[in-house]
Structure 1
Amino acid sequence: MTLRDSLGGLTMPRKPRQASRINAGRRIALATVSSLAAGSLVLSSGYTALAQPTPTPSDTHTTPEPTPSDTHTTEPPPMPPPSPVAPPAPVTPPSPVQPLADPPAPAEGACTHTVVRGDTLSAIALRYLGDANRHPEIYAANQALFEAAAREHPGPPVFGTSNLGHWIYPGTVLTIPGAACPTHPATPALADCSKHTFFFGVRGSGEEAGPNNLGGSVIPALFAALNRPAGSVGVHGVPYGAVDAATFIRDVVREGAVPTTTQFGAILLADAIRTQAEACPDQEIFLGGYSQGALVIRSALPLLTPDVRARISGIALFGDPTRVGPALTSDVEGRTTSQCAEGDPVCDRSAPLVNVTACLTAATRVTGGLVGRFGSTCPHFSYSAGGADLAAAFLRSQIQ
């Protein structure tokens, strides 16, 4: 038995199959070599990537610029033609303003007032009617006059209207409504301009008028010290009510302001100063006031225009009740001397208000109803000739 027979017909692998595998490997190798030769495959130690060939000019694709025929433009629809503008309507010129009728002349015997510089309707009402708030009555009685005067001033700030009597003009003669003028004494004629110096004095609360309406204490002493040699200084005392201290305090507490009688004195003083300053432009003008009289002076200064206040050479005040009334105007502060006695509660604002009442009412009882410095220990009545001499020296130093 042969070996072939013992294998039972086992078939051995044949050579041609091995050759086929070799031939397949050769084909792969040849293909690889061919690819390398063509440059289409890059081998590296990393990943395999496809190489992008550099484009040639012939391969570049460029979008051509649009030609005018290719361009599409959207145009807005044409605007309709504008409507014709109608011509403006003719303007009717304003009718000419009819002038106001001439105001009626004041009735015979009627109370009248001629407006001067510095006047206000409220001040005129206070002077003649006793109440500044009654100025609408004077406006109503003189409306045609006020508006006629205002129409002559069409520019600012008047604009042709008096604004219910806010704008009034010097020289206008007003009729004061009422049965008769007040019975207060008229301002006496002032001294002539031959005097180089003129003195306005205002007495204190409750003082009798005395010679020249100067009262009976420090104001006559001040005038005497100034009037040297005698007759060299003109004088005018303001003829106002000068109510007693108790009434003055009651009015201040009740009204909370300058009493009406004091306001009236301020109007009289302002009128007198204005008249004298305009009549005698070269005179030196001095003012002196004691107690309520000092308040009259402070209340009169705002009623004067700055150019008239500039004519006042000096002011002397004694026991000025600074708790009430307007402050001294700043343009005269440097020309003013004000004396306040030690412990005088009227002018010393640091003293309790109750001290004022106690001091003044006690003095009233001691002097028998007339407030004065004699017989009283109240410092408000201690101003004497010595203080007047000091004040007179100060005033003389202010003469230009």
Structure 2
Amino acid sequence: MSYPPAFPHKIETTAAHGGMKCRKGRRCSMKKRPVRRRGNPIALPAFLCIMLAVLLLGLHCLGGEPAFEALLTRLATNEGFVSGALALELGAGGRPVVHTPATAGSGLSQPPEPDKAPAPPEPANESAFAAPEIPAGAFSEKAATVEVSGTTGLSFDVEEMLANPLELRKTDGPQVLIVHTHGTEAYTNDENYSYTSEENFRTTDTQYNVVAVGDRLTEVLESHGIQTIHCRSMFDHPSYNGSYGRSLEEIKAQLDANPSIQVVIDLHRDDISLEGGGKMSLDWEQDGEEYARMMFVIGSGESGLTHENWEQNLNWAVNLQAKLDAAYPGLMRAVNLRKQRFNQHLRPGSMIIECGASGNTLTQALRSIELFGGFLAAELNAA
């Protein structure tokens, strides 16, 4: 492991100066080692010789010459002993006599690292978007929580639909298809998202229109393991006329290629003008944050076009709305049943979602679609 220099200034050793060169404006110093004065160079070797002679005489008297000779042989062949003995007499041969300062920081003991708290265990693969919690007993009076509005003369029984919800199949492969028949629909500017409106709160920049809301919904669903196809085409551009016909062809192609799809969402935003001018903002607040109110729009065959799935689609919307109403009262507007078919005849589980209105901000719309995405994921994962 490499460590940073022990000093904040740069240190260089140079042969010419034999010392330290510091960055201009810095003062450097180095402590000199005290010089060790040596005594008489003859005294110590003479003393050792006398001691060895005395020891040899003693061993001779005791008959231990072979043992002493073996000891001398081992000492003579020991490189460390010989070098040390010579150094006592001659100095440390082969070693520099002048002290050369080492590189700054080398040889310095590093301060111990502070005790580190044990790393927290890796969390399970949880979604960044928490799954919603539905209050216990929320459906005891659920028939009264779902309102269906519209101008059709069709009859239906909401309570019967709630008692017998549409069952979706758990499938492998993509389960949700998101399209934007009116993809250029956009919102009111705020500090987070600001764009130049091309025409009546519309833009082809997908960072600011309902395609961005579809991106967020896709992200939420996939974070919960729901494979999703998001068609980011804007079928109302360059011409608004014929947009439903163009999106119809796309939906058909996707359903043919992906029979596993269970839910088809055509994602829009509403547009409501105020009498005095300006646009209405459909607001809902929770924990100090503002959301855009949402609405499910369900088509029927009352306009004359064949639509055999409208009751199944209404069933699906009513049951999903009941859960949203229980958890977030006021977030959802009444389910809107319409005469037009809106391409919803192709697959049960189809709906339009109006996420806010042109008077809302994209920030509000993104918050709302996250809530919806969590509920939809819970439904599909429970199937």
TM-score (norm 1): 0.28
Which structure's CA Rg is the greater one?
1
Q: TM-score, normalised by structure 2?
A: 0.29
